Amino acid sequence: MTHDTTVKATGSSPGTRSGTEIRLDHVTKDYGLEAPAVDDISLTIEPGEFMTLLGPSGSGKTTTLNLIAGFETLTAGTIVLNGADVSNVPPHRRNLGMLFQHYALFPHMTVAQNVAYPLRERRADKREIARKVAEVLELVQLTGRDDHHPAQLSGGQQQRVALARAIVFEPRALLLDEPLGALDRNLRSALQVEIRRIHREVGSTFVFVTHDQEEALNLSDRIALFNSGHIEQVGTPQQLYAEPETLFTARFLGDSNVFELGQAALDENLTWDGETWGIDPGTVAAHPGVRTRSAIVVRPEDVEVVNRLDEVPAGANAVRATVRDVEYMGAYRTLLLTMGERRLPGRARVSALHGDHAVGDDLVAWWRPRAQRIVAA
Amino acid sequence: MSFSGAPTFQWPPRGFSWRLYHNFFTSPVWLDSLRNSLLVALLTALLATTVGTAAAVALSRLHGRLARFVRTLLMVPIVAPAIVVAVAVYISFLGWRLTGTVPGYVLAHTAIAVPYVLVSVTGALGGFDQRLLKASASLGASPWRSFVRVTMPLISRGILTGAIFAFIVSFDEVVIALFLRSPQFQTMPVQMYNSVTVEIDPTISAASSLMVVAVTIIFLVPQLLRGRARRR
Ligand SMILES: Nc1ncnc2c1ncn2[C@@H]1O[C@H](COP(=O)(O)OP(=O)(O)OP(=O)(O)O)[C@@H](O)[C@H]1O
Ligand SMILES: [Mg+2]
């Protein structure tokens, strides 16, 4: 591997990274079903970026990855790698590494032969191959397993071999399709750390597919959130969590209390279920959909509870609530509430020091207008 | 009986002798027929294995009516009565001047051997994980290289089994060979047929014993290979 140590050190500042830019330009894939699997997606993945394609099952993540890899043909649009249109280049000439959920190691080859495979296809010489294989096996912490066959390794080890094999030829980018999906929880978080470390060390572009929001939040520089064939929102994990543009995004990442508004004027106070609430203009999503249908979203950790309406601070938005259930989570507890006349389900996360709440207690839940977010619904 | 010392067929055999084997290996007629059979069977095995494997791999990727139709078409020669196939082959080969020639025998035998290869390779492909080809492509291997380095090693048992079946199908095929024979070119089963219908030549008992032994050995090859592979 010829990665540069100075690049490693400054890995988090874009612009100094090596790696390939991947640009999807109005990309569509239609299998002839009711709706296209991928519908007019445009997305630019920066050189060296860790981009996660997140979304529910069937939202088009794998299809998008396969389009980038060249395993599927485009119905419309172009795919551009570092400025070169590769839309019609077959997968074996795109020079992109790929990692699969099912490892896809060659069962008739040893670990070393598996890892050497892409180098032999590129006619590297024997000494070079041996050196690179040893180097990359060390990188994935599998030194000494060269002569094992895949069947003799655990799932986690097999995925490390697959990872070594996918990066040993220094591909322009690494595409990962739920690579940790088949592993148990502990192994998954261990390998998450590993993948993050290797991303830093090799400095190339990673495109990572998952439907696990926690995984996406942990690993990514940016997340592209998919929803039935289109991209709902692209941004850093913090942006997606704190500044969702749509109700779909707010619901997909983390828990939220949702108050649907329908079509509402958003420039002054508004009323919901008889309550009058204030709006902070900075919290209104830029999404054009907010003007036709919107909703208020409040994260459970931003909701406080008090016993009486007169305890709510001035300027806060409040709603009457009843405790439906209490979840104890150690340092804090989550109150499951029913809110307002409409008996809407909601949650508030309160500190364990806050005192006791029993099921059936009547409370008032409140939050600051700047803690809420008004999104397109 | 093939070890009998008697000049004609007799049961029980009288005395022990290698005479019939000596006859076999000194008679130019028998030796020629053996050589012809081996040549035709080897070429048939080669051609049928290539065609059958290619067809099996191609059909494994296709689904739908066309694939089913092609598969059925390729299977026709083993379900159709041998005589029907033989007459059909004879008539078309007369026109193409292929009767009595090595290519003629090989083509005709390949037609009836391909289904065996198709079945055994298709069986092996059933256990083959097609997703490995995606991995292989992502690592820079062209479809042909992927076939050579991934598919073929993993379905080699099916290919070998198919090749052996093809060899044997050709080696002891008699009906088509009877139609295609010429005075200059006869296969061993045809010579055996002659020796019991035209001449009464007891050498056939040696010939048939040799044939049984040969076929048995060929069938054992994969077993032996498997044993070796396991010990490794
Ligand atoms: N080869 C195919 N032929 C027809 N339809 C397909 C094909 N591959 C995917 N689809 C359809 O395209 C849509 C998107 O599928 P895709 O596999 O991209 O989803 P995904 O986001 O990766 O989901 P998951 O999280 O379940 O893997 C689905 O509706 C799926 O049924
Ligand atoms: Mg998928």
Structure tokens that stand for A308 in this block: 């009486």
| Distance of residue B229 Cα from the nearest chain A Cα, in angstroms | 12
* Nearest residue to A359 (alpha-carbon basis) of A320, A326, A334, A329: A326
Q: Is A150 in the pocket of ligand 1 (CB under 6 A)?
A: no
Nearest CA to ligand 1 atom 1: A31
User: What pLDDT was estimated at residue B231?
Assistant: 52
Name the residue facing A108 among B134, B141, B154 (closest C-beta).
B154
How far is the first Cα of chain B from the last one, in angstroms, to the nearest whole number? 42
pLDDT grade, residue A368 (50/70/90)? Answer: very high
Q: Which residues of B touch A169 (CB under 8 A)?
A: 139-140
User: What pLDDT was estimated at residue B34?
Assistant: 82
Q: pLDDT tens digits for A218-273? A: 899 999 999 999 999 999 999 999 999 999 999 999 889 999 888 877 777 788 87
- C-alpha gyration radius of chain A: 25
* Nearest residue to B188 (alpha-carbon basis) of B169, B204, B166, B199: B204
Average pLDDT over residues B210-230: 75
Average pLDDT over residues A55-65: 94
User: What pLDDT was estimated at residue A251?
Assistant: 92
Structure tokens that stand for A312 in this block: 């709510």
User: What pLDDT was estimated at residue B11?
Assistant: 67
Q: Where are the beta strands (DSSP E) in chain A?
A: 22-29, 38-45, 50-54, 76-81, 84-85, 96-99, 173-177, 205-210, 222-227, 230-235, 257-262, 270-272, 275-277, 294-298, 304-306, 317-328, 332-339, 344-351, 362-367, 373-376
Domains in chain B, CATH or no CATH each: 26-231 (1.10.3720.10)
| pLDDT for residue B100 is more than 80 | no
User: What pLDDT was estimated at residue B78?
Assistant: 77
In angstroms, rounded to a whole number, what is the distance separating the alpha carbons of residues B149 and B143?
A: 10
In angstroms, rounded to a whole number, what is the distance separating the alpha carbons of residues B58 and B121?
A: 11
Q: How far is the CA of A74 from the centre of ligand 1 (A)?
A: 14
Least confident span in A161-175, B17-31, B114-128, B144-158 = B17-31
Residue of chain B whose alpha carbon sits nearest to that of A95: B140
Structure tokens that stand for A157 in this block: 């080890």
| pLDDT for residue B18 is more than 80 | no
| pLDDT for residue A98 is more than 90 | yes
User: What pLDDT was estimated at residue A4?
Assistant: 40
Q: Is A210 in the pocket of ligand 1 (CB under 6 A)?
A: no
Name the residue facing B140 among A105, A169, A175 (closest C-beta).
A169
Q: Could you give the percent of chain A with pLDDT greater than 90?
A: 64
Q: Is A57 in the pocket of ligand 1 (CB under 6 A)?
A: yes
CB contact under 8 A, A104 and B134: yes
Q: Is A87 exposed, middle or buried (0-12, 13-18, 19+ CB in 10 A)?
A: middle
User: What pLDDT was estimated at residue B96?
Assistant: 81
* Nearest residue to A69 (alpha-carbon basis) of A37, A102, A49, A95: A95
| pLDDT for residue A83 is more than 80 | yes
Q: pLDDT tens digits for B185-205? A: 778 787 777 777 777 777 777
CB contact under 8 A, B139 and A106: no
Interface of B with A in 85-124 (CB under 8 A): none
Mean model confidence pLDDT for chain A: 88
pLDDT grade, residue A1 (50/70/90)? Answer: very low
Q: Is A59 in the pocket of ligand 1 (CB under 6 A)?
A: yes
Average pLDDT over residues B90-107: 79
The model's pTM is 0.82
If you count DSSP H runs as helices and E runs as strands, how many of each does chain B have, helices first? 12, 0
Q: Which residue numbers of A have CB closer than 8 Å to B's CBs?
A: 69-71, 90-93, 95-98, 100, 102, 104-108, 117-118, 121-122, 162, 165-166, 169, 175
Most confident range, picked from A38-52, B30-44, B86-100 = A38-52
Mean model confidence pLDDT for chain B: 82
Q: pLDDT tens digits for A10-25? A: 334 343 447 899 999 9
**Atom of ligand 1 at shortest range from CA of A38:** 14
pLDDT grade, residue A8 (50/70/90)? Answer: very low
> What is the sign, positive or negative, of the torsion defined by CA atoms of A129, A135, A141, A147?
positive
Average pLDDT over residues A138-149: 90
Average pLDDT over residues B100-110: 83
Least confident span in A45-54, A315-324, B27-36, B65-74 = B27-36
Chains A, B: CB contacts within 8 A come to 61
| pLDDT for residue B232 is more than 60 | no
Let me know: does A203 contact A174? Beta carbons within 8 Å: no
Q: Does B61 touch chain A (CB under 8 A)?
A: no
Domains in chain A, CATH or no CATH each: 22-239 (3.40.50.300), 250-376 (2.40.50.100)
Average pLDDT over residues A353-374: 86
In angstroms, rounded to a whole number, what is the distance separating the alpha carbons of residues A28 and A132?
A: 38
Q: How far is the CA of A254 from the centre of ligand 1 (A)?
A: 25
User: What pLDDT was estimated at residue B5?
Assistant: 67
Q: Which residues of B touch A166 (CB under 8 A)?
A: 138-139
One-letter amino acid of A160:
R
Let me know: does A158 contact A104? Beta carbons within 8 Å: no
The DSSP result for A67-89, as a single string, is HHHTSS--SEEEEEETTEE-TTS
Q: pLDDT tens digits for A184-225? A: 888 888 889 989 999 998 889 999 999 999 899 989 999 999
Q: Which residues of A touch B138 (CB under 8 A)?
A: 69, 91-92, 96-98, 166, 175
Nearest CA to ligand 1 atom 29: A58
User: What pLDDT was estimated at residue A372?
Assistant: 92
Q: pLDDT tens digits for A114-125? A: 999 999 999 989
How many other C-beta atoms are found inside a 10 Å radius of the C-beta of residue A265?
A: 10
User: What pLDDT was estimated at residue A2?
Assistant: 43
User: What pLDDT was estimated at residue B177?
Assistant: 77
Q: pLDDT tens digits for A124-143? A: 899 999 999 999 999 888 88
